């Protein structure tokens, strides 16, 4: 039997850097909450068995949003932690009765609303037989400068071999369940897997799969989504 694929979307953060009182995953984007767009893209992938949205225990915003049209495989759980890692661990625990050790767990940022279903499908195809798992990423194109204490250039950092990590990231349930608690300071799932001695595979992503962090990112994400809707029409 082929391994199942489960998705976890950590959405317990407050997103304070964007400068809005509403957590950024709920900010309106192309007529819907930001979170809706990534959930809708994931739900269009038939291979994903369940999609768990990990919310903060005291989240007061989910119920106030319009989630009409979302696939019934999407399940919101109020079990999030203080960090991304803690929220993903909580999502893994919620799957313990459904997932086997070799099933895949795909983790995607709620703040990446422009991910395309086709990209996720291609990502799953590339990792289907991989012994470790991997992540979407882009080769670094910009010149990197390291600053000194006075905000002056200390040196230019060679960019050869450097990639910008994106999500989704996907690894086996059993390995991820062990790796994240063992390495709580990891900033993403791939780093936790790396710390355990494995080498995640880099799968080429897309520049439009941007992470919304600041107000200008929100504007760009909306332009991307609106343009796609025009193309569909």
pLDDT digits (tens, 9 = 90+) for 49-100: 999 999 999 999 999 999 999 999 999 999 999 999 999 999 999 999 999 9
pTM of the predicted model as reported, rounded to 2 decimal places: 0.94
Please state, in angstroms and rounded to a whole number, the distance separating the CA atoms of residues 27 and 196: 36
Cβ-based neighbours of 119, under 8 Å, separated by 6 or more: 136, 205, 206, 209
- Reported as a pLDDT band with limits 50, 70 and 90, residue 233 is very low
Select the CATH number that applies to the domain covering 5-135+165-232 from these four: 3.40.50.2300, 3.40.1190.20, 3.90.550.10, 3.30.390.30: 3.90.550.10
Place of tokens 């941007």: 210
Contact in structure between 208 and 118 (CB atoms under 8 Å) = no
Please state, in angstroms and rounded to a whole number, the distance separating the CA atoms of residues 54 and 6: 13
**Token pair of 8, please?**
């976890």
| Residues linked to residue 9 through DSSP beta bridges, in sequence order | 53
Residues 196, 199, 205, 208, Cα dihedral to 10°: 30
Please state, in angstroms and rounded to a whole number, the distance separating the CA atoms of residues 67 and 89: 25
Q: Estimate to the nearest angstrom the gap between the alpha carbon of 47 and the chain centroid.
A: 17
Contact in structure between 203 and 130 (CB atoms under 8 Å) = no
User: Does the pLDDT of residue 229 top 80, yes or no?
Assistant: no
Question: DSSP character for 228?
Answer: H
Question: DSSP character for 126?
Answer: H
- Reported as a pLDDT band with limits 50, 70 and 90, residue 228 is confident
User: Does the pLDDT of residue 20 top 90, yes or no?
Assistant: no
Place of tokens 């989240």: 59
Where do the domains of the chain lie?
A: 5-135+165-232
For residue 14, the model assigns a pLDDT of 77
Place of tokens 């990534």: 38
Q: 136-189 pLDDT, tens per residue?
A: 999 999 999 999 999 999 999 999 999 999 999 999 999 999 999 999 999 999
What is the overall mean pLDDT for the chain? 94
């Amino acid at each position: 039997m082929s391994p199942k694929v489960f998705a976890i979307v950590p959405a317990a953060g407050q997103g304070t850097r964007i400068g809005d009182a509403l957590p950024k995953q709920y900010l309106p984007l192309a007529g819907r909450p930001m979170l809706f767009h990534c959930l809708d893209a994931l739900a269009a992938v038939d291979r994903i068995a369940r999609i768990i949205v990990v919310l903060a225990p005291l989240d007061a915003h989910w119920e106030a949003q319009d989630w009409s049209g979302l696939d019934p495989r999407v399940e919101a759980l109020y079990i999030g932690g203080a960090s991304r890692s803690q929220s993903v661990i909580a999502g893994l625990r919620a799957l313990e009765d459904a997932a086997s050790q070799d099933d895949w767990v795909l983790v995607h940022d709620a703040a990446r609303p422009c991910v395309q279903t086709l990209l996720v499908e291609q990502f799953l195809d590339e990792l289907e037989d991989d012994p470790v798992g991997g992540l979407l990423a882009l080769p670094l194109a910009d010149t990197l400068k390291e600053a000194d204490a006075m905000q002056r250039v200390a040196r230019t950092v060679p960019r050869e071999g450097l990639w910008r990590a994106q999500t989704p990231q996907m690894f086996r349930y059993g390995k991820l369940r062990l790796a994240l608690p063992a390495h709580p300071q990891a900033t993403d799932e791939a780093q936790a897997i790396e710390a355990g001695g494995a080498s995640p595979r880099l799968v080429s992503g897309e520049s439009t799969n941007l992470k919304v962090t600041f107000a200008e990112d929100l504007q760009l994400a909306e332009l991307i989504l609106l343009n796609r809707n025009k193309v569909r029409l």
